[in-house]
Amino acid sequence: MALLQAEGPLTTQAIGHALPHLAIPVTFGVKTKHPAAINAHTKVLQGAGFAAGLVRAQPTGAWTSAEYLWVPTEDWLGQPITGRTEAEAAPKLLDLWLRRFGPATETDIAWWFGWTAGLTRKTLTAIDVTVADVDEGPAYVASGDAAPPDDPGPWVRLLPGLDATTMGWKKRDWYVDPAMVPRFFDRNGNAGPTVWADGQIVGGWIQRPDGKISIELARELSSTHQLLLDEAIDQLQLVLGDAVVRPRFPAPVQKDLFDRA
Protein backbone atom coordinates (compact mmCIF):
# COMPACT_ATOMS: atom_id res chain seq x y z
CA MET A 1 0.00 0.00 0.00
CA ALA A 2 2.83 2.39 0.87
CA LEU A 3 4.47 1.69 -2.48
CA LEU A 4 1.32 2.55 -4.42
CA GLN A 5 0.66 5.65 -2.34
CA ALA A 6 4.20 6.87 -2.98
CA GLU A 7 4.65 5.93 -6.63
CA GLY A 8 1.14 6.04 -8.03
CA PRO A 9 -0.71 3.40 -10.08
CA LEU A 10 1.44 0.37 -10.88
CA THR A 11 0.96 -2.91 -12.70
CA THR A 12 1.25 -6.30 -11.01
CA GLN A 13 4.59 -6.83 -12.74
CA ALA A 14 5.96 -3.47 -11.60
CA ILE A 15 4.89 -4.18 -8.02
CA GLY A 16 6.67 -7.54 -8.17
CA HIS A 17 9.87 -5.87 -9.37
CA ALA A 18 9.67 -3.26 -6.60
CA LEU A 19 8.90 -5.84 -3.89
CA PRO A 20 10.96 -8.90 -4.84
CA HIS A 21 10.57 -10.42 -1.37
CA LEU A 22 6.86 -10.84 -2.18
CA ALA A 23 7.34 -11.97 -5.78
CA ILE A 24 8.21 -15.52 -4.85
CA PRO A 25 6.44 -18.53 -6.38
CA VAL A 26 3.99 -20.37 -4.14
CA THR A 27 2.29 -23.57 -5.23
CA PHE A 28 -1.50 -23.57 -4.90
CA GLY A 29 -3.77 -26.59 -5.22
CA VAL A 30 -1.09 -29.05 -4.12
CA LYS A 31 -3.70 -31.72 -3.39
CA THR A 32 -5.59 -31.19 -6.64
CA LYS A 33 -5.03 -32.57 -10.13
CA HIS A 34 -3.84 -29.18 -11.36
CA PRO A 35 -1.42 -27.53 -8.89
CA ALA A 36 -0.07 -24.19 -10.04
CA ALA A 37 2.88 -22.03 -8.99
CA ILE A 38 1.79 -18.40 -8.62
CA ASN A 39 3.87 -15.45 -7.45
CA ALA A 40 2.76 -14.58 -3.94
CA HIS A 41 2.39 -10.85 -4.60
CA THR A 42 -0.41 -11.52 -7.10
CA LYS A 43 -2.42 -13.18 -4.34
CA VAL A 44 -1.58 -10.34 -1.94
CA LEU A 45 -2.97 -7.84 -4.46
CA GLN A 46 -6.05 -9.97 -5.00
CA GLY A 47 -6.65 -10.17 -1.25
CA ALA A 48 -6.21 -6.42 -0.86
CA GLY A 49 -8.78 -5.94 -3.60
CA PHE A 50 -11.27 -8.23 -1.87
CA ALA A 51 -10.70 -6.25 1.33
CA ALA A 52 -11.45 -2.99 -0.56
CA GLY A 53 -7.96 -1.65 0.04
CA LEU A 54 -7.07 -1.58 -3.67
CA VAL A 55 -8.93 -1.32 -6.95
CA ARG A 56 -7.95 -2.42 -10.43
CA ALA A 57 -8.00 0.75 -12.50
CA GLN A 58 -7.71 1.13 -16.25
CA PRO A 59 -6.01 -1.60 -18.30
CA THR A 60 -2.62 -0.94 -19.82
CA GLY A 61 -2.75 -0.65 -23.58
CA ALA A 62 -6.00 -1.63 -25.31
CA TRP A 63 -9.25 -2.25 -23.43
CA THR A 64 -8.79 -5.98 -24.08
CA SER A 65 -5.54 -6.07 -22.07
CA ALA A 66 -5.46 -8.39 -19.05
CA GLU A 67 -2.85 -6.18 -17.33
CA TYR A 68 -4.31 -3.53 -15.03
CA LEU A 69 -2.99 -0.72 -12.90
CA TRP A 70 -3.51 -1.04 -9.15
CA VAL A 71 -4.57 2.00 -7.15
CA PRO A 72 -5.40 2.48 -3.44
CA THR A 73 -9.17 2.61 -3.16
CA GLU A 74 -9.10 5.87 -1.21
CA ASP A 75 -7.00 7.52 -3.94
CA TRP A 76 -9.37 6.25 -6.64
CA LEU A 77 -12.52 7.43 -4.86
CA GLY A 78 -11.01 10.62 -3.45
CA GLN A 79 -12.21 9.77 0.04
CA PRO A 80 -12.00 6.88 2.49
CA ILE A 81 -14.64 4.16 2.54
CA THR A 82 -16.58 4.64 5.74
CA GLY A 83 -18.37 1.34 5.31
CA ARG A 84 -21.50 -0.11 6.84
CA THR A 85 -22.03 -2.86 9.31
CA GLU A 86 -23.18 -6.23 8.04
CA ALA A 87 -26.58 -5.67 9.62
CA GLU A 88 -26.94 -2.38 7.71
CA ALA A 89 -25.56 -3.50 4.36
CA ALA A 90 -26.89 -7.03 3.92
CA PRO A 91 -30.63 -6.17 3.75
CA LYS A 92 -30.10 -3.35 1.26
CA LEU A 93 -27.82 -5.50 -0.86
CA LEU A 94 -30.24 -8.42 -0.90
CA ASP A 95 -33.20 -6.21 -1.79
CA LEU A 96 -31.31 -4.72 -4.75
CA TRP A 97 -30.19 -8.16 -5.91
CA LEU A 98 -33.67 -9.68 -5.68
CA ARG A 99 -35.05 -6.86 -7.83
CA ARG A 100 -32.73 -8.06 -10.61
CA PHE A 101 -32.49 -11.80 -9.96
CA GLY A 102 -35.63 -12.79 -8.06
CA PRO A 103 -37.21 -15.20 -7.59
CA ALA A 104 -34.31 -16.89 -5.85
CA THR A 105 -34.16 -19.67 -3.30
CA GLU A 106 -32.24 -19.57 -0.03
CA THR A 107 -29.66 -21.80 -1.71
CA ASP A 108 -29.27 -19.33 -4.58
CA ILE A 109 -28.87 -16.38 -2.21
CA ALA A 110 -26.36 -18.07 0.10
CA TRP A 111 -24.33 -19.25 -2.90
CA TRP A 112 -24.25 -15.88 -4.67
CA PHE A 113 -23.27 -13.82 -1.63
CA GLY A 114 -21.15 -16.45 0.11
CA TRP A 115 -23.36 -16.15 3.18
CA THR A 116 -24.10 -18.77 5.78
CA ALA A 117 -27.60 -20.23 5.90
CA GLY A 118 -28.15 -18.35 9.15
CA LEU A 119 -27.19 -14.96 7.71
CA THR A 120 -29.32 -15.64 4.63
CA ARG A 121 -32.43 -16.35 6.70
CA LYS A 122 -31.76 -13.44 9.04
CA THR A 123 -31.43 -11.04 6.13
CA LEU A 124 -34.59 -12.34 4.45
CA THR A 125 -36.55 -11.55 7.62
CA ALA A 126 -35.13 -8.01 7.63
CA ILE A 127 -36.61 -7.03 4.24
CA ASP A 128 -40.06 -7.11 2.69
CA VAL A 129 -40.24 -10.13 0.38
CA THR A 130 -42.91 -12.19 -1.33
CA VAL A 131 -42.67 -15.97 -1.39
CA ALA A 132 -43.03 -17.65 -4.77
CA ASP A 133 -43.23 -21.36 -5.53
CA VAL A 134 -40.66 -22.67 -8.01
CA ASP A 135 -39.64 -26.22 -8.92
CA GLU A 136 -36.88 -26.19 -6.29
CA GLY A 137 -39.27 -25.06 -3.52
CA PRO A 138 -39.96 -21.68 -1.90
CA ALA A 139 -38.25 -18.72 -3.54
CA TYR A 140 -38.24 -15.01 -2.83
CA VAL A 141 -38.93 -11.84 -4.79
CA ALA A 142 -38.62 -8.25 -3.62
CA SER A 143 -41.72 -6.46 -2.39
CA GLY A 144 -43.79 -5.08 -5.25
CA ASP A 145 -41.90 -7.12 -7.81
CA ALA A 146 -44.03 -10.27 -7.85
CA ALA A 147 -46.12 -9.47 -10.93
CA PRO A 148 -45.08 -11.45 -14.02
CA PRO A 149 -43.18 -9.34 -16.56
CA ASP A 150 -44.66 -8.35 -19.89
CA ASP A 151 -44.04 -10.82 -22.70
CA PRO A 152 -41.01 -9.45 -24.61
CA GLY A 153 -41.68 -11.64 -27.63
CA PRO A 154 -38.97 -13.78 -29.22
CA TRP A 155 -35.43 -12.65 -28.48
CA VAL A 156 -31.80 -13.79 -28.80
CA ARG A 157 -28.71 -12.46 -27.03
CA LEU A 158 -25.01 -13.28 -26.97
CA LEU A 159 -23.66 -12.99 -23.42
CA PRO A 160 -19.98 -12.97 -22.43
CA GLY A 161 -18.28 -15.51 -20.22
CA LEU A 162 -19.10 -15.25 -16.51
CA ASP A 163 -22.04 -12.95 -17.26
CA ALA A 164 -24.11 -12.33 -14.13
CA THR A 165 -27.26 -13.62 -15.83
CA THR A 166 -25.62 -16.94 -16.65
CA MET A 167 -24.01 -17.23 -13.22
CA GLY A 168 -26.84 -15.67 -11.20
CA TRP A 169 -28.36 -18.79 -9.62
CA LYS A 170 -26.95 -22.00 -8.18
CA LYS A 171 -29.96 -23.99 -9.36
CA ARG A 172 -29.99 -23.57 -13.15
CA ASP A 173 -32.20 -26.33 -14.51
CA TRP A 174 -34.88 -23.81 -15.44
CA TYR A 175 -32.68 -22.03 -17.97
CA VAL A 176 -30.11 -24.59 -19.09
CA ASP A 177 -30.58 -28.27 -19.90
CA PRO A 178 -28.70 -30.18 -17.15
CA ALA A 179 -27.24 -32.45 -19.83
CA MET A 180 -25.60 -29.39 -21.43
CA VAL A 181 -24.06 -27.95 -18.26
CA PRO A 182 -20.72 -29.76 -18.83
CA ARG A 183 -20.70 -28.25 -22.32
CA PHE A 184 -21.31 -24.63 -21.31
CA PHE A 185 -19.52 -24.54 -17.91
CA ASP A 186 -15.98 -25.59 -17.08
CA ARG A 187 -15.10 -28.03 -14.29
CA ASN A 188 -14.99 -25.16 -11.76
CA GLY A 189 -18.46 -23.92 -12.68
CA ASN A 190 -17.28 -20.95 -14.76
CA ALA A 191 -19.57 -20.19 -17.69
CA GLY A 192 -18.14 -19.48 -21.10
CA PRO A 193 -19.81 -17.10 -23.59
CA THR A 194 -23.39 -18.24 -24.17
CA VAL A 195 -26.20 -17.90 -26.70
CA TRP A 196 -29.62 -17.21 -25.17
CA ALA A 197 -33.06 -17.50 -26.74
CA ASP A 198 -36.25 -16.62 -24.85
CA GLY A 199 -34.65 -17.09 -21.43
CA GLN A 200 -32.80 -20.33 -22.19
CA ILE A 201 -29.14 -21.06 -22.89
CA VAL A 202 -29.16 -22.66 -26.33
CA GLY A 203 -25.52 -22.51 -27.36
CA GLY A 204 -22.04 -21.10 -26.97
CA TRP A 205 -19.90 -18.75 -29.04
CA ILE A 206 -16.36 -17.50 -29.59
CA GLN A 207 -14.64 -14.80 -31.56
CA ARG A 208 -12.14 -16.45 -33.89
CA PRO A 209 -8.62 -15.05 -34.35
CA ASP A 210 -9.81 -13.45 -37.61
CA GLY A 211 -12.49 -11.56 -35.66
CA LYS A 212 -15.50 -13.52 -36.91
CA ILE A 213 -18.07 -14.92 -34.46
CA SER A 214 -18.53 -18.70 -34.42
CA ILE A 215 -21.57 -20.35 -32.86
CA GLU A 216 -22.42 -23.85 -31.67
CA LEU A 217 -26.09 -24.48 -30.90
CA ALA A 218 -27.40 -27.19 -28.61
CA ARG A 219 -30.70 -27.32 -30.46
CA GLU A 220 -32.20 -26.10 -33.69
CA LEU A 221 -33.70 -22.61 -33.66
CA SER A 222 -36.87 -21.47 -35.35
CA SER A 223 -36.50 -19.33 -38.45
CA THR A 224 -37.47 -16.27 -36.40
CA HIS A 225 -34.84 -16.97 -33.76
CA GLN A 226 -32.21 -17.70 -36.41
CA LEU A 227 -32.80 -14.25 -37.90
CA LEU A 228 -32.53 -12.72 -34.43
CA LEU A 229 -29.29 -14.64 -33.86
CA ASP A 230 -27.85 -13.28 -37.10
CA GLU A 231 -28.79 -9.76 -35.98
CA ALA A 232 -27.19 -10.31 -32.56
CA ILE A 233 -23.97 -11.49 -34.21
CA ASP A 234 -23.90 -8.42 -36.47
CA GLN A 235 -24.48 -6.12 -33.48
CA LEU A 236 -21.68 -7.74 -31.49
CA GLN A 237 -19.28 -7.52 -34.44
CA LEU A 238 -20.09 -3.81 -34.69
CA VAL A 239 -19.38 -3.27 -30.99
CA LEU A 240 -16.10 -5.20 -31.07
CA GLY A 241 -14.83 -3.52 -34.21
CA ASP A 242 -11.23 -4.54 -34.84
CA ALA A 243 -10.76 -5.92 -31.32
CA VAL A 244 -10.45 -9.66 -30.76
CA VAL A 245 -11.44 -11.07 -27.38
CA ARG A 246 -10.88 -14.51 -25.92
CA PRO A 247 -12.69 -15.92 -22.86
CA ARG A 248 -10.55 -16.17 -19.75
CA PHE A 249 -12.31 -19.37 -18.67
CA PRO A 250 -13.37 -21.20 -21.84
CA ALA A 251 -15.88 -24.00 -21.38
CA PRO A 252 -15.63 -27.19 -23.47
CA VAL A 253 -17.82 -25.70 -26.19
CA GLN A 254 -15.38 -22.79 -26.59
CA LYS A 255 -12.38 -25.10 -26.71
CA ASP A 256 -13.98 -27.14 -29.48
CA LEU A 257 -14.95 -24.03 -31.42
CA PHE A 258 -11.37 -22.75 -31.24
CA ASP A 259 -10.09 -26.13 -32.42
CA ARG A 260 -12.36 -25.84 -35.45
CA ALA A 261 -11.60 -22.18 -36.12
Backbone φ, ψ for residue 156 (5° rounding):
-140, 140
pLDDT at position 225 is: 98
pLDDT at position 36 is: 87
pLDDT for residue 3 is more than 90: yes
Cα dist from 127 to 88, 122, 139, 142, whole Å: 11, 9, 14, 8
pTM as predicted: 0.88
Query: Considering Cα of 101, then 106, then 111, then 117, what sign does the dihedral take?
Result: positive
Displacement of CA 252 from its chain's centroid (Å): 18
pLDDT at position 93 is: 97
Task: State the Cα–Cα distance between residues 184 and 192, nearest whole angstrom.
Answer: 6
pLDDT at position 84 is: 86
pLDDT for residue 261 is more than 90: no
Do residues 162 and 190 touch, judged by C-beta distance below 8 A? yes
pLDDT at position 29 is: 82
Task: Provide the residue ranges of all domains of the chain, joining segments of one domain with +.
Answer: 2-77, 86-142, 156-260
Beta-strand (E) ranges in 5-92? 10-11, 25-28, 36-39, 54-59, 68-72
pLDDT at position 146 is: 87
Inter-helix orientation angle 106-113/117-125, to 10°: 110
23-50 mean pLDDT: 89
Q: Which residues contact 201 (CB under 8 A, 6 or more apart)?
A: 166, 175, 176, 177, 180, 184, 194, 195, 218
Do residues 4 and 70 touch, judged by C-beta distance below 8 A? yes
The arrangement of secondary structure in 86-142, i.e. its CATH architecture, is Orthogonal Bundle (1.10)
Displacement of CA 108 from its chain's centroid (Å): 15
Task: State the Cα–Cα distance between residues 60 and 47, nearest whole angstrom.
Answer: 21
Can you list the alpha helix ranges (DSSP code H) found in 153-204? 164-167, 181-184
Task: State the Cα–Cα distance between residues 116 and 96, nearest whole angstrom.
Answer: 19
Cα dist from 172 to 61, 117, 127, whole Å: 37, 19, 25
Count of all residues that appear for the chain in the document: 261
Q: Which residues contact 7 (CB under 8 A, 6 or more apart)?
A: 18
pLDDT at position 66 is: 86
pLDDT at position 192 is: 97
Count the alpha carbons within 13 Å of 41 in the hemisphere toward its beta carbon: 18
